[in-house]
Amino acid sequence: MGRRTHHLIGCTALVSAAFLAATGAAGAATQVAVKASSAFEQVPGTGGGTYFAWSRGNPARLLIQSGPGQPAFRVNGSRSHAWSGSIDGTTFVYQFARGGNSDIRLMDVVSHVKSVPTGINTRRWEWHPTISGDWILFGRSTLDRNRSRVLLHNTSTDQTITLADAQGRSTRTDPGQVSGDYAVWDRCAHHVCNVYRYRISTGRTTRIPNTLAGRLQYFPSVTSSGTVYFAHSGDGCGRNVKLIEWVAGQPLNVLVDFRRGRDLTSTTQTVPDPVAGTDVYFDKYTCRAVASDIYKVVVP
């Protein structure tokens, strides 16, 4: 069990020099290919700067580049799996799995010095971390996935906040992203998935409206100002999949309406665009071909 993949695919176990443009079947945003190849490209991780990380293949090789056109540095060894998290400044957080155990690790992207955060790792399965300032958002699951939790940990105070706790094989919860004063996650039960947003300063949790056709909302990410991005679909891989933007007090905004048979693999990630607006990264899955590439859309 590694990073969470599409809601019905189960659990498995990023920038090129030239961007390839591609458009979805509908929706207002243009998809831009970031990592498109014959390899299984998934789990984008960045912080809005030049450094970019992603995972490739199975076993999952975690790679990081210092900028477009630069050589990729492999983070994990040949006998392990690793999946990207996110980058804040020069601190990169990621998931490292070996020998039936999964932990959260840190690495300085400049020096490549690795470390282990305190107060996070246990004998359970820790996974899907993101970082913002002193906060690390991550998931913790039993190996049989019968119980899953979303936890928000402060590395300065060692405070850990339980945002979600799900028990039972038909119910699960998965972390999304922490950014500034906000953290997001999803929770699925009985063929319905909802996305939630937590404001750290107030302790308030908000459930994002689930009003479109289909009842599955998953893979959320969030900006430092609280705008949430996520996938919405019907039940089944590649059924009526949309990339959605939600701003508090406004209706859901469809950014991309994917072609039938296309879905998201494991995550979205939201970072400031270097020029203007917001970059929303996602790994797009082709259901029949069992292939994954990494794309982004730029939201003004």
| 16-38: pLDDT as tens digits | 222 222 333 346 799 999 999 99
pLDDT at position 1: 36
Are the C-beta atoms of 99 and 89 separated by less than 8 Å?
Answer: no
Domain coordinates in residue numbering, the chain: 3-34+118-299
* Phi, psi of 105, rounded to the nearest 5 degrees: -125, 160
pLDDT at 229: 98
Summarised one tens digit per residue, pLDDT across range 135-183 is: 999 999 998 879 999 999 999 999 999 999 999 988 999 999 999 999 9
What span, in angstroms and rounded, lies between the C-alpha atoms of 281 and 165? 27
- Please, what is the Cα angle at 151 between 105 and 165, to 5 degrees? 135
- Which helix (H) or strand (E) segment is 90 a member of? none
Q: Taking the model in full, what pTM does it have?
A: 0.91
| The pLDDT of residue 294 is above 80 | yes
Looking at residue 22, what is its pLDDT?
Answer: 32
Neighbouring C-alpha atoms within 13 Å toward the C-beta of 248: 13
CATH assignment of 3-34+118-299, among 3.40.50, 1.10.3230, 2.120.10, 3.30.70: 2.120.10
Taking 3-state DSSP, the helix, strand and coil percentages for the chain, each rounded to the nearest 5, stand at 0, 55, 45
Task: Give the count of beta carbons closer than 10 Å to the beta carbon of residue 224.
Answer: 15
Alpha-carbon gap, residue 176 to 117, rounded angstroms: 19
